[in-house]
Amino acid sequence: MITIPAYLQKNDCIGIVCPAGYMSMEKAQASINTFQQWGYQIKIGKTLGSDSENYFSGTDKERLTDFQKMLDDDEIKAIYCARGGYGVGRIIEQIDFKKFKDNPKWIIGFSDITILHAHIYSNYKIASLHAPMASAFNNNEFENKYVASLKNALGGNKIKYQCKPNEFNKKGEAVAELVGGNLSLLAHITGTSSDIKTKGKILFLEDVGEYLYNIDRMLYQLKRSGKLHKLAGLIIGGFTELKDTERPFGKTVYEIIHDIVKEYNYPVSFGFPVSHSKENYALKIGVGYKLKVGKNKVILEE
């Protein structure tokens, strides 16, 4: 049975941290302003806008300490990860979730934050929120419907998303808990304490900046480890900024995915708006959804 953290009320506090890659305060300011306009209080961790001089927002110890402090702070009702990148896998085993188990709060983010989502779901059966991060608010994008979906999710509004059909879709319906996130990270955590059991679940996948052959390799890893065999449904989001080798791989990314999953009978939706681009709806990990892949449209709703 999944535990859903309390939805946020006006004046609730959101803690903002960077548990992986570095982000300047300037690039996060629009998100901070927007959260405040939505009626929330903000507490900023030491890792946002830190004085780090390398890729990470701080040493492993500094990032761990900052996240742990937010996790244990009773005033904080949600932890917003301002950026992904790389780094959560280096500290996930050291995070103490004892207090969090008794007093769950929303953990928000995507990309490298996929590890946190998977770990929390697999080990504690607590819902979290795969959603746009701080850069999505910049250049006046805080007004778009994808950022607005984060506001709606935090406030407890029921979710209903629609998108256009795709030629590779497999029609059908599924009702199940939703799991997933970034393909690279899901492949990375296979066999670890953060690994997810996908049987009977609706799985969603997205990625950015990968070589086509590596997408193929990671999907075969999921397939060989049984992650794709007995799904209730599959949602394929955006695969953006992809790269190819000098000698072409010979297939588009959706052709690659279609060939790997075409033997299965569950519904599959390609081109769903969850991605590293602007099109990135907020999705509640672990929460039950209904997926309907029809001839004229795809609907995902709570």
pLDDT digits (tens, 9 = 90+) for 253-270: 999 999 999 999 999 999
- Local confidence band at 228 (pLDDT 50, 70, 90 cut-offs): very high
pLDDT at 143 over 90: no
pLDDT of residue 141: 87
Residue 55, exposed/middle/buried by CB under 10 A (0-12, 13-18, 19+)? exposed
Q: Choosing from 117, 119, 130, 276, which is the catalytic residue?
A: 276
- Local confidence band at 142 (pLDDT 50, 70, 90 cut-offs): confident
pLDDT over 70 for what percent of the chain?
A: 100
Whether residue 117 lies in the annotated active site: no
Residue 164, exposed/middle/buried by CB under 10 A (0-12, 13-18, 19+)? exposed
**What is the arithmetic mean of pLDDT over 137-159?**
94
Sheet containing strand 283-285, edge to edge, reads 41-44, 13-17, 76-81, 106-109, 128-130, 283-285
125, 187: one domain: no
Structural domains in the chain (count): 2
**What is the arithmetic mean of pLDDT over 147-162?**
96
pLDDT of residue 211: 98
- Local confidence band at 15 (pLDDT 50, 70, 90 cut-offs): very high
Residue 247 lies in a domain: yes
21, 148: one domain: yes
CATH number for the domain harbouring residue 206: 3.50.30.60
Q: Pick the last residue of a domain from 137, 154, 171.
A: 154
216, 90: one domain: no
49, 120: one domain: yes
Q: What is the pLDDT of residues 56-106, one digit of tens each?
A: 999 999 999 999 999 999 999 999 999 999 999 999 999 999 999 999 999
Q: Pick the last residue of a domain from 124, 154, 184.
A: 154
Q: Choosing from 206, 210, 258, 275, which is the catalytic residue?
A: 206
Q: Choosing from 111, 149, 194, 269, which is the catalytic residue?
A: 111
Domain that holds residue 83: 13-154
Whether residue 184 lies in the annotated active site: no
Whether residue 119 lies in the annotated active site: no
Q: Average pLDDT of the chain?
A: 97
pLDDT of residue 166: 98
- Local confidence band at 28 (pLDDT 50, 70, 90 cut-offs): very high
Q: Pick the last residue of a domain from 154, 189, 218.
A: 154
pLDDT of residue 237: 98
